[in-house]
Amino acid sequence: MWTTMKNLDLNSVGLSLSLGLIVLVLYEIIRIISSRAKTPPGPTPLPFMGSLPYFVTKPMELIRSMSQYGEMTTVYFGRKPTIVLNTIQITKEALVQNASSFSGRPSVPLIDWITKGYGIIFTSFGHSWRQQRRFALHTLRNFGLGKKSVEERVSEEGCYLVAEMLKAEGKPFDPQHAIHNAVSNIICSIIFGDRFDYNNKRFAYLLKILKNHIIQTGSLIAQIFNLFPFIKHFPGPHQKIYQNAEKLKDFVREALKEHRETLDANSPRDFIDAYLLEIEKQKSNEDSTFHEENMLISTADLFLAGTDTTGTSISWGLIFLMGNQDVQERCHQEIVGVLGYDRLPSMDDRDKLPYTYATVYEIQRHSNIVPLGVVHETTQAVKLRGYNIPKETQIMTNLTAILSDKEHWKFPHTFNPENFLDDNGHFYKTESFLPFSLGPRVCLGETLAKTELFIFITSLLQRIHFSWPPGEKRPDMDGIFSVVRSPQPFNILCHSRDSKE
C-alpha cells in the first residue's frame, strides 16, 4: 500500500510539473502574440529564446533576411523585443532627428560584469558618458588626432608594417597579427605614449587575448550569460571571458602605475597623463566622474576599439584584393604614378588617388564588420513611424542592409570600387555609407580610423603584391560573427614591388 501511495505521489508531482510547464509555455505564447501586435513585423520568435538559437547558428543569414519585413524589423533575442532599423532614412530619423531618445545603451549583464557601468562605449546615456566622451575627444585631439602629427605616426608605422610583411616574402603566413600590431601601435602611442615591436611576445599575447575576448563576448556562452547572469557565481566557460577582460585591464593598470610614478604635471605625455591630471583637477567637483576605475575602463575602451575594428577592416581588405587582382593592380599603378615607390602617402594625396581612395571606402563597405551596429536603447517612450516604442527598448541599425541597398549602390553585393566613383572617375560617397554610425554615439575614433585605413592600405599596395598561396582554402566570407565580424584565419603570399618591375 505504501509503495502504491508513493507511486501516486510521484505521478501527481510529475503531472503537476507537466501541467505547470504547459501553462507557462501557453502564457509565454500569448505574451509574444500580444507583444508582436504592437511592434513592427519580424520573424516568429520561439518561447523564451526568441530568435536567439537561429542568430547564434546562422547570424548573417538572419540579418540578411530582416529587410524583407520593411523599414523596421522586430527580433527577439531572448524574451525582449529589439527593433532593427533597415534603411538609411529611418536610421537618420531615429539617431539624428530624435537623438536624445535613441542614444541610450542597454544594460547587458556580461558587459556590466566586466565594466561595472564605467567607460565610454557601453555606458548609459547620461552625465558620466558626456564627461568621459568630451574629455576623450578633447584629449585625443590635443595629442594629434586629426592633425599632421598622428598622420606622420601612421605613415612611419606603415613602413614598419611593410617591412614586417616582407620578412616572409614568398612564404605563406597569416598577416593578421602584424596588421593588428601596426594599428594598435597608433592608439598605443596616443594612450600609453609608446609603440610595441612586432616581435614583442608579451604584446603579441595581449593582442591574442584581445581578439579572443572580442570573439567570446559575442559567442553562445555570452548570450547564455546574458539570459542567466546569476551563473557568474559558478564555474564555467563564461569565467574565461571575465579572466581575459581582467588580463586586458591588468595591462592598463600596469601602465597607469608607471605613469603615476613618472608624471610631470607641466608636461603630460599622453592620454593617461592627461587623465591623471584631470582627476586631480576635478577632486573638489562633486559632479566629477573622473576616478581611477573610470580611467581604467575608458582607457581599455579606447585601446580595444582603436585596435580591433581598423585591423579587422584591413584584414578583410587583403582578402578582397587577393580575390580581385585587377583592382589591386589598378591601385598599385595609380599609387606609383603619383608617389613613385619611395614617397610615403599622406592624406593630402586622396584627391590624386581617386581609385585607391574609392577602394579603401569599398573595403569598409564590403567588410561590414559590425553588421547590426552597436546596440542603442531608447531613453524615453517615443513614437517612430506610427509605432509606440517604450522606454528601454533595444535598437539596432541593420548596416548589412544599408551598406548593400540596391537603391544606393551600383554594385551592392560585390566588391567594386566603382561604388564610390562618379561617371568621371572622381571619388564620391552616398549618405548610405555609415560604418561609424550616426548621431551622438558616432564612433569617436572615426578620424583616426580613416587616416589609418587610407595610409596603411596605400602603403601596402605601393610596395607589395598580395596573392593566395597555391592550394590555399578560401575563408568563409561570412567570417566569425561576434562583437566585430572578423575573417577566419587565412594565409597570404607577399612579393615586393620595386621600380624595376
Q: Please determine, for residue 91, whether its predicted confidence score (pLDDT) is greater than 70.
A: yes
- The pLDDT score that the predictor gives to residue 1 is 47
Amino acid at 34: S
- The pLDDT score that the predictor gives to residue 145 is 66
Q: Please determine, for residue 34, whether its predicted confidence score (pLDDT) is greater than 80.
A: no
User: Where do the domains of the chain lie?
Assistant: 38-107+375-402
pLDDT band at 24 (very low <50, low <70, confident <90, very high): low
Q: What is the C-alpha separation between 134 and 136, in angstroms, rounded?
A: 6
Amino acid at 81: P
pLDDT band at 114 (very low <50, low <70, confident <90, very high): very high
Q: Give the residues across from 74 on adjacent strands.
A: 83
Question: What letter would DSSP give residue 444?
Answer: T
Q: What is the C-alpha separation between 372 and 85, in angstroms, rounded?
A: 9
- In the chain, the percentage of residues whose pLDDT exceeds 90 is 68
Contacts (Cβ under 8 Å, ≥6 apart) of 322:
328, 466, 467, 468, 492
The verdict on pTM exceeding 0.75 is yes
- The pLDDT score that the predictor gives to residue 32 is 72
Higher-scoring residue by pLDDT: 146, 230: 230
Q: What is the C-alpha separation between 65 and 81, in angstroms, rounded?
A: 17
- The pLDDT score that the predictor gives to residue 445 is 87
Compute the mean pLDDT over every residue in the chain, rounded to the nearest whole number. Answer: 90
With H, G, I as helix, E, B as strand and everything else as coil, classify residue 4: helix
Render pLDDT for 165-222 as a digit per residue (tens, 0 to 9).
999 999 999 999 999 999 999 999 999 988 999 999 989 999 999 898 888 888 888 8
Q: What is the C-alpha separation between 380 and 392, in angstroms, rounded?
A: 7
> Do 358 and 457 contact (CB within 8 A), yes or no?
no
Q: What is the C-alpha separation between 409 and 403, in angstroms, rounded?
A: 8
In the block, cell 530582416 appears at 66
Q: Please determine, for residue 48, whether its predicted confidence score (pLDDT) is greater than 80.
A: no
Considering only CA atoms, give the Rg of the chain.
25
> Do 101 and 382 contact (CB within 8 A), yes or no?
yes
Q: State the Cα torsion 353-355-360-361 to the nearest 10°.
A: 120
Ranges 8-12, 55-59, 128-132: which has the least confidence: 8-12
> Nine-digit cell at 18?
507537466
Q: Please determine, for residue 25, whether its predicted confidence score (pLDDT) is greater than 80.
A: no
- The pLDDT score that the predictor gives to residue 5 is 45
pLDDT band at 27 (very low <50, low <70, confident <90, very high): low
Ranges 140-144, 229-233, 346-350, 366-370: which has the least confidence: 140-144
In a 13 Å sphere around the CA of 112, the CA atoms on its Cβ side amount to: 11
> Nine-digit cell at 49?
529564446
Architecture field, domain 38-107+375-402: 2-Layer Sandwich (3.30)
Higher-scoring residue by pLDDT: 339, 501: 339
Ranges 42-51, 109-118, 274-283, 464-473: which has the least confidence: 42-51
Contacts (Cβ under 8 Å, ≥6 apart) of 381:
388, 389, 390, 391
What mean pLDDT is predicted for residues 484-501? Answer: 86
Nearest to 289 by CA among 114, 116, 130, 106: 130
Q: What is the separation of C-alpha 34 from the centre of its chain, rounded to a whole number of angstroms?
A: 34
In the block, cell 539624428 appears at 96
In a 13 Å sphere around the CA of 484, the CA atoms on its Cβ side amount to: 24
Contacts (Cβ under 8 Å, ≥6 apart) of 409:
365, 403, 419, 430, 432
Q: Please determine, for residue 262, whether its predicted confidence score (pLDDT) is greater than 80.
A: yes
What mean pLDDT is predicted for residues 146-173? Answer: 91
What mean pLDDT is predicted for residues 60-70? Answer: 94
- In the chain, the percentage of residues whose pLDDT exceeds 70 is 94
Q: What is the separation of C-alpha 100 from the centre of its chain, rounded to a whole number of angstroms?
A: 23
* Helix (H), strand (E) counts: the chain: 18, 8
> Do 306 and 448 contact (CB within 8 A), yes or no?
yes
In the block, cell 530619423 appears at 93
Nearest to 110 by CA among 225, 236, 257: 225
Q: Please, what's the b/e burial string for 146-185 (b: 16 or more CB within 10 A of its CB; e: otherwise)? A: eeeebbebbbbbbebbbebbeebeeeebebbbbbbbbbbb
Ranges 45-54, 178-187, 232-241: which has the least confidence: 45-54
Amino acid at 55: F
> Do 126 and 469 contact (CB within 8 A), yes or no?
no
